[in-house]
Every structure is written in C-alpha cells, then in structure tokens.
Structure 1
C-alpha cells in the first residue's frame, strides 16, 4: 500500500501550517483548534521549514514557562524527515519506528501535499487486518 492511499482515506486531508515567527502560544491554540498533534512549520504554506509537535511544547515548557511567548522556530525540528505519496507504507512505518517520530509531512516536488501520523498508519493497518480476518472467516464458514 502507498502513502497516498492512506491520505485519501483521511477525514481531514488539509494540512495545517504555522509560520516560524508565530508564538508557541499561537501554536498551542492551533493544535487545539484542529485537534492535531503536530503542525508543519512553513513560511508560505507550501514549503517545509520544520515541524513542531505537542511533545516539543511540553518538553520546553517544563524547562521554561517563558517559551509560550517565544517563536515556534525556537522549538521546532528543523531537519524534517519527509515522504512522498508514492512511497510504500511499510517503509514509512520503519522510518517512524527507527527515528521515533509520529508525524511525517508528505511532499511532491518540494511542495507540501499532506501529513501522515502514526495514528493514520495504525488505523490503516487495523483496517487491513480486519479485512483479512473477515476473508478468512468467510472462507472457513463456506466449507
């Protein structure tokens, strides 16, 4: 299965981005408003400048409450691992596991086209397993 197949089945396909100059307080508001765990940091909504997650906020907030008024760029991950819609989902699972990441931006020709989370991957895998179970159950009960 390809990443684009999973993206197409997501209820919310639009990618929420945030400017690197926005404050962490604004970031928290957007995370809550859109009920997501991470945002792609972008100057223009198309390029990937970084990624910032709830984890990034919590880890910095624990050390310094003043981070709420800091720029998102001060807590974002600048070296972002991305994938293409045509990439194999198994390869993405391996990437997420090896690098302990939960959100991966999807890009095509250096432009942001989506984001895939570990939740999207797990939901897809559960769906595949349920389908296989139903097929096997049907086969067993037909004989």
Structure 2
C-alpha cells in the first residue's frame, strides 16, 4: 500500500494553494475557479486552521442567503482541519475520509503544509494498485511468473 508521500509525488500539480482566514469567500471562490480545484486549506499566521470547500460555500453561504463578498472565509470554513502526515497509507486516509465525510485532507509535516490529497487522488491510487495486483495474479495463473 502506497503512502501519502508517494501519492503527492505522482500528482501532476504539486503546488498547494491556500487562502487566509481573513480573506473573503468571494476571493476564495475566485482562487478555486482559477485553479480548477474544489477546496483550499485555510491558514492563519502560516498555520492550517481549516479547509474551505465548494460544499461549505453552498451550505453555509448560498443556502443561508449570505453574500460571498462580505463573508470571511473563517465564518464558513470547516474547522479544525482534519489533516494527515505523509507517512500515512492510502487506506488509512480513505478510512478517515469515509468516517468523517471529507473530500480533502491537508498533508502536514512538523506543522507545515506539504500537500493536499483529495478523495479522487486516493481512489485513483487504489484502483491503480488493484489493477496491478490483478495483472500479477493473471500472470501467475498463466504461469508467466
């Protein structure tokens, strides 16, 4: 089973975009749209304190009639941030995501943000591992190994 560090290394886009807790929701949405992403880690004084996602915006802003231009990120973000470290396995992360109903996990090392993994990243890796196992088993059955 691969680790979070290995998943991060295989991602095409390695840069993690963040938003400050005191920024407006509108600016966070602009950044998500610009980078074609669904969530941003929220920082305060360089530390990850939460995550803001499109789901947060829909449920805590739109459905409550709040204006994205006048609402601060800290008012609608999911907090505290549920994070993982780079040594955790893909399976451990999938369990956490499933149990906590999350879609994104900030990856922290010594309190510093080093990556972000999504449920899509983790499922993609799981499928690749299963396909490789099936290929190896088929080779074994055919006597090719």
Q: TM-score, normalised by structure 1?
A: 0.92
Cα distance in 2, alignment partners of residues 102 and 68 from structure 1: 25
Q: Is the 8 A contact 2:90 2:126 kept in 1?
A: no
* CA RMSD across the alignment: 1.5
Deviations 1:90-136 (A, max 9, x none): 21111111100110100011111111110000000111111112222
Q: Is the 8 A contact 2:39 2:52 kept in 1?
A: yes
Matched pairs, number: 142
Q: TM-score, normalised by structure 2?
A: 0.91
Cα distance in 2, alignment partners of residues 70 and 63 from structure 1: 12
Deviations 1:14-63 (A, max 9, x none): 1100011111111111111111111001135x420211111000112122
Gaps of 5+ in 2: none
Look up the SS of the partner of 1:42 in the other structure.
strand
Deviant stretches of 4+, over 4 Å: none
Deviations 1:74-104 (A, max 9, x none): 1011211111001122211111111001101
Cα distance in 1, alignment partners of residues 51 and 108 from structure 2: 13
Cα distance in 1, alignment partners of residues 91 and 31 from structure 2: 30
Q: Which moved more, 1:64-73 or 1:17-26?
A: 64-73
Q: What corresponds to 1:40 in structure 2?
A: 41
| Higher percent of residues as helix | 1
